[in-house]
């Protein structure tokens, strides 16, 4: 676990992608800005950061986190909506088809049930564009930058390993 | 406990004939408010209520902080939080910059286990209301 997790100030990386609008008759080609997801932060890192911020032991945060998510799962799957302090609301939603008569409008019309999330106003304001450091980059250049060998490379991916099958 | 639903009439206004159809609508039970949730967690985890509230707020703040800084936050037993971005399309590559962003918000995606649990939720028709 990376415990040197001092606030990671990062940019929201986005890249332009060419798409074809097939639903239009002339199928025009346009550019859409896509979001490049940064590194994935797992439970342990969130617990570490939250423990530092709240001045409580990590074990307490972990207990609270497990109990929180169990509670949300339990209440949502029993039809309740749940309001989480500082985050937003969770609730179960249906994806349904329509029926021609009332008798046909039964649970067979339900295609899918899923948990939906509505962020709180504060979080929405926080995630709004004015608070983001958006950088638009070319995806090819980003990939090339990621593949550039650094001094820390241990050479595990060299082709002459014993397990490599000979042609 | 099963989730209750009822059938409601709807008119499909986007179709020329405007046909009348029936839809299945979910009925929500009372919302579990923040204080009730904190009390439930305090009782189940045997942690004082004040500590629970502080922990939950700290976790929420951590999630928001990491997402704003370009990361995706994943909880193995629950799901992932990420930045949801809504954009316009641009005709040329030069026009495709930060100005095409219309809206950004915090998104959530349940993991496989939670999604399966939600999909297996029992449903039953609610007793019809007599509005006469």
Structure ipTM: 0.86
Of A66, A84, A105, the CB nearest to B23: A105
Please tell me if residue A142 touches chain B, with a CB cutoff of 8 Å.
no
Which chain A residue's Cα is nearest to B61? A86
Distance of residue A161 Cα from the nearest chain B Cα, in angstroms: 34
* Amino acid B122: pLDDT: 87
Residue A16, token pair as written in the block = 């332009």
Please tell me if residue A125 touches chain B, with a CB cutoff of 8 Å.
no
Interface contact B90-A114, CB threshold 8 A: no
* Amino acid A155: pLDDT: 40
Please tell me if residue B11 touches chain A, with a CB cutoff of 8 Å.
no
Contacting B residues, span 43-72, partner chain A, CB-CB under 8 Å: 44-45, 47, 51-72
**Average pLDDT of span B115-122:** 90
Q: With contact defined as beta carbons under 8 Å apart, do A21 and A27 qualify?
A: yes
Residues of chain A with Cβ-Cβ distance to B4 below 8 Å are 79
Residue B111, token pair as written in the block = 């993991």
* B95 occurs within a structural domain: yes
**Predicted TM-score (pTM) of this structure:** 0.79
Contacting A residues, span 39-78, partner chain B, CB-CB under 8 Å: 39-43, 45-47, 49-51, 53-54, 56, 60-61, 63-73, 75-78
Q: B15-40 pLDDT, tens per residue?
A: 888 888 888 888 877 899 999 999 99
Distance of residue B68 Cα from the nearest chain A Cα, in angstroms: 6
Distances (CA, A) of A157 to A129, A161, A162, B24: 40, 8, 12, 55
* B93 occurs within a structural domain: yes
Confidence of residue B124 (pLDDT cuts 50, 70, 90): confident
* B85 occurs within a structural domain: yes
* B86 occurs within a structural domain: yes
* B99 occurs within a structural domain: yes
Distance of residue B17 Cα from the nearest chain A Cα, in angstroms: 14
- SS3 label, residue A83: strand
* Amino acid B74: pLDDT: 93
> How many A×B Cβ pairs under 8 Å?
300
What single-letter DSSP state applies at residue B21? E
- Secondary structure percentages of chain A, helix, strand, coil, to 5: 30, 25, 45
* Amino acid B55: pLDDT: 92
What single-letter DSSP state applies at residue B44? H
Provide the residue range defining the domain that includes B82: 72-121
Which chain A residue's Cα is nearest to B52? A64
Of A8, A42, A64, the CB nearest to B56: A64
* B59 occurs within a structural domain: no
For chain A, 167 residues long, give each residue's pLDDT as a single digit of tens. 333 333 445 667 788 888 888 888 888 888 888 877 777 889 999 999 999 988 999 999 999 999 999 999 999 988 899 999 989 999 999 998 888 888 888 888 889 999 999 999 888 888 876 667 777 777 666 666 666 554 444 444 444 444 444 44
Residues of chain B with Cβ-Cβ distance to A35 below 8 Å are 83, 85
* Amino acid A140: pLDDT: 67
Contacting B residues, span 73-112, partner chain A, CB-CB under 8 Å: 73-80, 82-83, 85, 87, 89-93, 95-98, 100-101, 103-108, 110
How many domains in chain B? 1
What single-letter DSSP state applies at residue A109? G
Question: Is the pLDDT reported for residue B2 higher than 80?
Answer: no
* Amino acid B10: pLDDT: 87
* Amino acid B68: pLDDT: 84
Distances (CA, A) of B47 to A70, A75, A104, B36, B43: 15, 20, 48, 14, 7
Continuous segment of H or E residues that includes residue A114: strand A110-119
Q: B58-109 pLDDT, tens per residue?
A: 999 999 888 888 888 999 989 999 988 888 888 888 888 878 888 888 999 9
* B41 occurs within a structural domain: no
Q: For the sheet containing A40-41, what is the strand order?
A: A40-41, B72-75, B79-87, B101-110
Q: Assign residue B25 a region: left if phi > 0, alpha if psi is -120 to 50, beta otherwise?
A: beta
* Amino acid A145: pLDDT: 65
Q: A59-106 pLDDT, tens per residue?
A: 999 999 999 999 999 999 888 999 999 899 999 999 988 888 888 888
* B100 occurs within a structural domain: yes
* Amino acid A138: pLDDT: 73
């Amino acid at each position: 676990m990376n415990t040197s997790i001092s606030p990671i100030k990062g940019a929201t990386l986005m890249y332009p992608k060419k798409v074809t609008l097939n639903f239009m008759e002339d199928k025009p080609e346009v550019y859409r800005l896509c979001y490049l997801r940064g590194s994935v932060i797992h439970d342990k890192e969130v617990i570490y950061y939250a423990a530092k911020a709240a001045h409580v032991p990590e074990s307490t945060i972990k207990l609270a986190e497990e109990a929180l998510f169990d509670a949300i799962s339990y209440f949502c799957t029993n039809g309740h909506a749940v309001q989480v302090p500082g985050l937003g609301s969770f609730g179960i939603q249906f994806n349904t088809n329509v029926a021609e008569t009332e008798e046909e409008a039964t649970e067979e019309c339900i295609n899918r049930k899923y948990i939906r999330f509505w962020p709180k106003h504060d979080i929405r304001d926080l995630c709004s564009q004015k608070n983001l450091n958006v950088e638009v980059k070319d995806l090819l250049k980003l990939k090339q930058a990621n593949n550039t060998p650094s001094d820390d490379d241990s050479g595990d991916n060299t082709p002459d390993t014993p397990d490599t099958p000979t042609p | 406990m099963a989730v209750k639903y009822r059938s409601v009439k709807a008119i499909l206004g986007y179709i020329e004939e405007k046909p009348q159809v029936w839809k299945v609508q979910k009925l929500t039970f009372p919302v579990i408010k923040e204080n009730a949730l904190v009390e439930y967690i305090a009782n189940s985890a045997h942690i004082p209520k004040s500590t629970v509230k502080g922990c939950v707020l700290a976790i929420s703040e951590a999630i928001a902080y990491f997402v704003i800084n370009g990361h995706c936050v994943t909880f193995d037993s629950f799901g992932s939080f990420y930045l949801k971005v809504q954009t316009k399309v641009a005709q040329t590559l030069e026009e495709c910059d930060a100005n095409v962003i219309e809206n950004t918000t915090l998104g959530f995606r349940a993991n496989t286990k939670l999604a399966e649990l939600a999909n297996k939720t029992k449903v039953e028709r609610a007793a019809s209301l007599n509005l006469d």
